Structure 1
Amino acid sequence: MTEVKQDMKTAPQEERETIISYDRQTETWHIYTDEPKHARKYEKYVTHPQRKGYNSAGQLIMLEGDIDNGKVSIIKKWKLTDEQRKKQSKALQKARISQRASIRTEGSDIN
């Protein structure tokens, strides 16, 4: 059963934490976070939360529970050079133009 707390106050930024731990016996990942950004991000992976907290506006600000059938991995942030950034921007722009063209073509085939 999920314990739901309403009208919680968001923790000060310097006190917020996210703890993700692994239980080897049950092979289960467990998460506790009072960082609103992380609570929203991981909510979809916790199908049976133990605790959830919402602020007065109804926004999720705290989450605790097991990550169901999941795997946790951490990756390093990418640091792109200006040249790499420009190359990716051009590729994305080309893909968007191509997608728009194919949508227009599909729409014109309708009788």
Structure 2
Amino acid sequence: MVLKSIGAYAVRRSDPELPPLLADSEETLNKVIALRWIGEWTPADDDVAAPVRQAILEERWSDAVVGWMEATGEVLDIYPFGLEIHEERDYPADEFGPRVQTTPLFRGE
């Protein structure tokens, strides 16, 4: 049983120690990326930052992310599909063995 599904998530490839951003939808994730990662950027050149700022204000998320990545060398992996969250209670020890043995892996024995 799946407890919950996260709508979308993003990973900052350049900093694997940084936790991924999780959101209930791709639209929300775009806003979180703009605020948390792109918004924290301190650009050295205002001419480079201007199109990124404008893209964010116009909610052109792809343009904002691509512009920011090109300007900073950062790379984001964005997954616009659900990430399932499972709980231990859904896999009780007394049921796990019989359940796993019904999977295709065990059918060929």
State whether TM-score is above 0.5: no
Structure that is richer in helix per residue = 2
**Normalized against structure 1, the TM-score is what?**
0.30
Structure that is richer in strand per residue = 1
Q: With a CA cutoff of 8 Å and minimum separation of 6, indicate the structure with the bigger relative contact order.
A: 2
**Normalized against structure 2, the TM-score is what?**
0.30
